[in-house]
Structure 1
């Protein structure tokens, strides 16, 4: 008998941002695999079991969950944000491709969640109102030179850029290098949003210009959104400014 494997996106951290579909999937699963801080967010019933692992153990976590599902157990793998955005859905697919044929027979369901860039964008206005892209600054799985080429191409093409995994203790320099590169392609006045814990009680959302943006303001839990040359900052008396990118592009409207 083959079990089921459900990959669940828990959103950016607030219980109110967990979708009803994700909450239902949590109630239905028997065993849970994930990074410990994500598993700690689950309010599990008696008989539901957690299997916690380190953040860098994605493939081994996926393999363990698949092996258990192959034994007939209803298993869930949990991710923060959306599991398909730099997260566990891809790791599970990679493990299935490299694993035994029986893993391909497992019933697989992926439950989407609110990813960090959407939560941060919603708190500040509409910076993703026109074309945008998401880039992870982590070079654990790709070379830094490739990251630089993508940053260069995206900024020259006029995309708003959401940066995931911007900085860590092992990579304290990369966000600063990214800002240096982007300053060569974008106006110094381009809005930059540092969004941490959007929707949670410890939320911190800050706006700077690209010219004054300080990489030290970010940590691994921060999503950084860099506007395009079209992105605007609307100051409001007594309220936080709105940052938005118009739905039209200047070149297309000429």
Structure 2
């Protein structure tokens, strides 16, 4: 039997947001590999072996999945959201590049999913309606100085900014530093969206001016979107809608 590896995104949480392509791969897989909470999202069935692991062993998890596929197993390696956005697809290719030559002959597929960023934006309206950028605030794999530089440049370019992994229990100070920097750089009342656990039973959504944002409003299940100077708020009885117009009305001077 010829093995294969599918690196699949399970979306932000709701089963309805798992794509049919991912559902089909899961239905035919011999092995399910992933971080334990993501593996737990998939119902057990006959013939499926489940391999759950800790959050901080991405490279080892990728290597294990590649070894299973090399042995002829049909393997689905799961991530939340989209596997190519701060998730397992990059870890697989890091392992592939450094690993045995035989791994390069494998059938490897990346199956996209709905990201937390897109789910949060849809709940809020259309805050990513014009140019935007995405930053991961975790400094596990990069220095804080690089995060700060990228935040400054994103503000200078007047992007809307989606922020992943804003505030962990181990390092709560990072998001506080990021917010202080953004508040110092942006003196206008651009909106900030705090979208937590979107599409799950624990979903919450808060929209407030950047200058009123506080670090404790976010945790690692929160996706934060900071609007650009052009992002607008539409007040309505059912709750505000946030959107960024499709056209830019100001120019940003090159440094």
Q: Does TM, scored on the shorter chain, surpass 0.5?
A: yes
- Other-structure match for 2:54: 54
Question: In structure 2, how many angstroms separate the alpha carbons of the residues matched to 1:33 and 1:65?
Answer: 7
Aligned-residue CA RMSD (Å): 1.0
Q: TM-score under structure 2 normalisation?
A: 0.96
Question: 1:184 Cα shift?
Answer: 2.1
Displacement over 3 Å in runs of 4+: none
Task: List per-residue Cα deviations over 1:76-107 (Å, max 9, x = no partner).
Answer: 10000000000000000000001000111110
Question: In structure 2, how many angstroms separate the alpha carbons of the residues matched to 1:112 and 1:34?
Answer: 16
Q: TM-score under structure 1 normalisation?
A: 0.97
- Other-structure match for 2:112: 112
Select between 199-208 and 223-232 the one with higher mean Cα deviation: 199-208
- Other-structure match for 1:98: 98
- Other-structure match for 1:70: 70
Instruction: Say if 2:207 is the partner of 1:198.
Output: no
Secondary structure of the 1:183 match is helix
- Other-structure match for 1:81: 81
CA contact (8 A) 1:191 1:209 kept: yes
Provide closer, same or farther for how the CA distance between residues 6 and 39 of structure 1 changes in structure 2, counting only shifts above 3 A.
same
- Other-structure match for 1:159: 159
Matched pairs, number: 251
Secondary structure of the 2:250 match is helix
Structure 2 alignment gaps of length 5 or more: none
Secondary structure of the 2:245 match is coil
**Residues 6-85 of structure 1: pairs in structure 2 closer than 5 A:** 6-85=6-85
CA contact (8 A) 1:125 1:243 kept: yes
Secondary structure of the 1:93 match is helix
Secondary structure of the 1:184 match is helix
